[in-house]
Structure 1
């Protein structure tokens, strides 16, 4: 296998690899980083020795990197918790939500729903795929048959509309 073969296999398998890693790490941004690291690792290995079955090797490398990331995060969280005495952890008050906070949240959701219903169907779909499903620009662009820059511009506009809505709401007192 050559570097050009890696490029073509990587480009063909990038989105399935990204989805697989995003499901594993439950963070689209981290999954993007892992996909890039996967490419670099496979390219380094390919420079050292031939790889007969490049596609499975690509996915296995990605999964191994995701598992390493998850192990690291688990160890980090254990270490942070182990360093804090139990009496300090027990002394931290749990957040209590007031009735006013609940009413404010309900009001916010109603206004947000009303605002989002005024968007075009494509804008609504972009918002849902990006913010609720965690898809990246390229993945959304592919699904909607538009360019990634169109997705980015639409999402920027949608977020500006949402931020404008938030700025007009009175915070709870």
Structure 2
């Protein structure tokens, strides 16, 4: 069989092959890679020998590649977990914040909120536009009808207040 015949069969069977492999590996991008690898393997095999029934050979090659991929994933997950002692696994810190971290964050938010409430309305607006909306100095200055250097100075003062609040809370902890 020639390569043009492979191209014809492959193009005709590409979508069903992709669906089959996607069902097997449950990942569309991995299935797409396997379809491409299937084509390359079948083309390489055609260069070495003749294949009588190309379509079933194409599907069988794809399924074998998918099974190899799944087998590799199983081995990798077993190896990664089986090679690590249980005490080491239990010593790995959780991604979840601790109760202390949650309490500290809550206190910090509460104190920052109180400090920000004591700012002037213009300072509060500068803070919101800068930190929550991501606006630049010039944009804020235009909206509030002040100079960009005024915005910069006000924001510097606001950030100093925030840092001070955090430092005082950290000293108490």
- Aligned residue number for residue 39 of structure 1: 39
Aligned position for 2:123: none
Q: 2:83 — aligned with what?
A: 83
2:42 and 2:89 map into 1 onto residues whose CA distance is 43
SS in 2 for 1:51: coil
Residue equivalent to 1:15: 15
3-state SS in 2 of match to 1:52? coil
Corresponding residue number in structure 1 for 2:157: none
In the TM superposition, residue 90 of structure 1 has moved relative to its aligned partner by: 3.0
TM-score, with length taken from structure 2: 0.53
**Higher RCO (Cα < 8 Å, 6 or more apart):** 1
State the alpha-carbon separation in 1 of the partners of residues 64 and 94 from structure 2: 37
The CA deviation string for residues 33-55 of structure 1, in whole angstroms up to 9 with x for no partner, is 11001000000111111111100
Measure, in 2, the Cα distance between the counterparts of 1:94 and 1:53: 54
**Distance in 1 between the 2:13 and 2:92 partners?**
46
Between the aligned partners of 2:91 and 2:19, the Cα distance in structure 1 is 40
Which runs of no fewer than 5 residues in structure 1 stay unpaired?
A: 98-166, 169-173
Q: Distance in 2 between matches of 1:94 and 1:59?
A: 43
Q: Which range moves more in the overlay, 85-94 or 46-55?
A: 85-94
Greater C-alpha Rg: 2
What is the CA distance between 1:59 and its match in structure 2?
0.2
Q: Normalising by the residue count of structure 1, what TM-score does the alignment of the two structures yield?
A: 0.53
| Matched residue, 1:50 | 50
> Gapped runs of 5+ residues in structure 2?
98-131, 134-173
Cα distance in 2 for residues equivalent to 1:81 and 1:69: 19
1:115-146 CA-to-partner distances (Å, cap 9, x unmatched) read: xxxxxxxxxxxxxxxxxxxxxxxxxxxxxxxx
Structure 2 CA distance, aligned partners of 1:36 and 1:78?
Answer: 28
Q: Which residue matches 1:68?
A: 68
1:123 corresponds to which residue? none
